[in-house]
Each structure stands twice: as C-alpha cells, then as structure tokens.
A and B are shown apart, each in its own frame.
Chain A
C-alpha cells in the first residue's frame, strides 16, 4: 500500500510550485490585492515566531520551566540579531545549551 503521506507531500509540492511560479511561470500581468500584498510582508516573522517559541518555552516533567532551553534560546536570539546569519546562531546556540545543561542544577 502506498503511504498516504505521499499525497500530503504531493499537495505541498504542487502548492509551493504554484507560489513560486505564480508570477514567474503562470501570470506576467497578475496583480495582487493590496491587502494580500501587505499581509505577505508579515508571513515570515509571524510563522517563524510561531514555530520557534514553543520550542524554547518548555516545561520539564516536574512542572518547572526548562531554563537551559530558554536561556540558550535568548543567547542564540541575540547572536542571530547581531550577525543576521544562520551558522553562528546554530553553533553558539548549541554550545550555550550544552554549557547551561552542565552548569544548571538538573
């Protein structure tokens, strides 16, 4: 039997190609309504924030906040803000997490 996830992937792939090709392939003269155009500006900050915060704000099994994750996230956020680059953010964020795990009481 074919995994139904192939269907999910196919639809995401087709939809993504439609976004990418909307103007490049399908419609040269296509114009977007003003409200949509303005909304598109806020898609990246909104979606990325919604993805990232639940990963940083987490509670441990005993009900306390996972402080190491939160603090490492704050350090990485600062690095990302200053460098505007992915690689240093990943490296310093992971080092901060490991260091805080070692330093903070478990």
Chain B
C-alpha cells in the first residue's frame, strides 16, 4: 500500500539524493576544521548538532581559530544564517495547518537544499496536505549525513597529510555557494564590494574585517538595486 504520505516522503528522498552526496565533503571539512582549530570532539559535534548550518559552522571555526572575540563570532554566524529568515517567510504559508511541534522540527532542520526543493515542488505541483512529508524526506537525510560526515572528518582528520592542502576546500565551498547565490547585477556588486573590503580588512582584529565587509556589501547591493530602478 502506498499512502500519499509515504509517496511524498519517497519523492523527497529521491529529490535530495544527489545533494546528499554533495554535502559529504563539506561536512568532512567542518570536522577537519574543528580538529585543526583544537575544538575537541564534543564541541565540534555539539556545534554540528546545535547550529546545523554548514557555512556558519566553518566561518565560526575559522574565526575562533583566529582568536576572534565571542560577540563577533556570533554576529558573523548569524549574518551568514540570516538567509534562513527569508526561507522561513517563503515556506510558512504552506505549512500553517501543522502543529507547533511539527513546525518547530521543520525549522530546526531547515537548510538551503530543503528550502529550495520544497518550494519548487510547491510552486510547480501546487502544495498539498502531504508537502511536509516531502520536506522531511529531503531534510532528514541531509541532517543525518551531515552529522556522520562531520564526525568522520574529525576522526580521520589526523590521517590527512598537510601537503594535500585540504584546507583549500573551505574557500572552494564558499566559492560554489557564492556563484550559486549571484543572480543579478546588484548581487555582483554586493559580492565585489564585500570581497575586496574583506581582503583589505583581513588584518583587522577579531574577524572585524569579515563582518564589516559583509555589511558594506549588503548595503552596496541595496543601493545598486535602487540605481537600476531609477
């Protein structure tokens, strides 16, 4: 017997499969980064479970390793995760009928991929009463594989020779995310301003350069968007 719920869940699993493969090196890198920064196994895994947002985990670890002050680590991580607010706003109307418990679980496991796949299904096929099962089919494997990959990276990190320069994977991951996030001319301007200011400000204490450069880039994007309208 295939109930609509089970069908939706299976559809989610199928849709997310290639993305699950793609997050493995990302998760492994987060584990290696935690090891390299001397966070210890408990803090590395604790961060992975409590925060569960890869880009902000890597950035936080980078800043902690550089000796940044705690408030700046928090501010930078929260700026990086601010996009989740947008996802939340976009998804919420489709899940209003669910209980608070369900919606809390969905919020905790919300990721770029879970948002993107679910919203495109809702948009193209129209939302139905089982969309949340599709969402779970997408989001749960991402959560599980992320935790396993982080643990593996931490555990296997010492076995990787420094000559491989695996630390280079961190900027490569952000590069891929950057290219996927640029979809307009103001977006290009936001990236150029933030990127160049971040290089100039890299020697500022406590990761201040990264945070200030990001804020300047966001402002530049909004201003550039205004120009285009005039």
Q: Which chain A residues have a beta carbon within 8 Å of chain B's beta carbons?
A: 3-13, 15-17, 19-25, 28, 30, 32, 35, 37-57, 69, 72-73, 76-77, 80-81, 84-87, 89-90, 93-94, 97-98, 101
- Asked whether B82 lies within 8 Å of A19 as measured between CB atoms, the reply is yes
- Asked whether B191 lies within 8 Å of A24 as measured between CB atoms, the reply is no
Smallest Cβ distance from B38 to chain A, in angstroms? 10
Report if B168 contacts A (CB, 8 A). Answer: yes
- Asked whether B25 lies within 8 Å of A52 as measured between CB atoms, the reply is no
Sample of 21 A–B contacts (CB below 8 Å)? A16-B52, A25-B103, A28-B93, A38-B222, A39-B222, A41-B187, A41-B221, A46-B216, A47-B214, A47-B217, A49-B195, A51-B59, A54-B199, A54-B209, A80-B176, A80-B179, A84-B179, A86-B22, A86-B177, A90-B172, A93-B175
Range, interface on chain B: 35 or more
**Least CB separation from A55: chain B residue:** B171
Instruction: Enumerate the 6 nearest inter-chain pairs by beta-carbon distance, A residue then B residue, closest first.
Output: A46-B217, A42-B221, A55-B171, A44-B181, A49-B195, A13-B50
Q: Known contacts being A22-B88, A48-B191, is A86 close to B74, with CB within 8 Å?
A: no
Report if B155 contacts A (CB, 8 A). Answer: no
Report if B2 contacts A (CB, 8 A). Answer: no
Contact with A along B61-95 (1 / 0, CB 8 A): 01010000010011001111111111111011101
Partner among B22, B74, B177, B186 whose Cβ is within 8 Å of the Cβ of A48: B177
**Least CB separation from B96: chain A residue:** A28
Partner among B21, B62, B70, B186 whose Cβ is within 8 Å of the Cβ of A8: B70
- Asked whether B175 lies within 8 Å of A76 as measured between CB atoms, the reply is yes
Tell me the bound Cα distance from A80 to B59 in angstroms: 20
Q: Which chain B residues have a beta carbon within 8 Å of chain A's beta carbons?
A: 21-23, 25-26, 39-40, 43, 46-47, 50-53, 55-56, 59-60, 62, 64, 70, 73-74, 77-89, 91-93, 95-96, 100, 103-104, 106-108, 110, 164-166, 168-182, 184, 186-188, 190-199, 202, 209-210, 213-222, 225
Smallest Cβ distance from B97 to chain A, in angstroms? 11
Number of A-B contacts (CB under 8 A): 262
Smallest Cβ distance from A69 to chain B, in angstroms? 7
New A-B contacts (8) at CB < 8 Å, excluding given A16-B51, A16-B52, A19-B82: A22-B85, A25-B100, A41-B225, A42-B217, A45-B181, A73-B172, A73-B175, A86-B22
Write out the residue numbers on chain B whose beta carbons fall within 8 Å of the beta carbon of A19.
78, 81-82, 84-85, 88
**Least CB separation from A74: chain B residue:** B175
- Asked whether B88 lies within 8 Å of A51 as measured between CB atoms, the reply is no
Partner among A20, A54, A72 whose Cβ is within 8 Å of the Cβ of B107: A20
- Asked whether A51 lies within 8 Å of B190 as measured between CB atoms, the reply is no
- Asked whether A49 lies within 8 Å of B178 as measured between CB atoms, the reply is yes
Tell me the bound Cα distance from A45 to B62 in angstroms: 19
- Asked whether A52 lies within 8 Å of B171 as measured between CB atoms, the reply is yes
**Least CB separation from A31: chain B residue:** B89
Write out the residue numbers on chain B whose beta carbons fall within 8 Å of the beta carbon of A11.
74
Write out the residue numbers on chain B whose beta carbons fall within 8 Å of the beta carbon of A45.
178, 181-182, 187-188, 190-191, 194, 217, 221
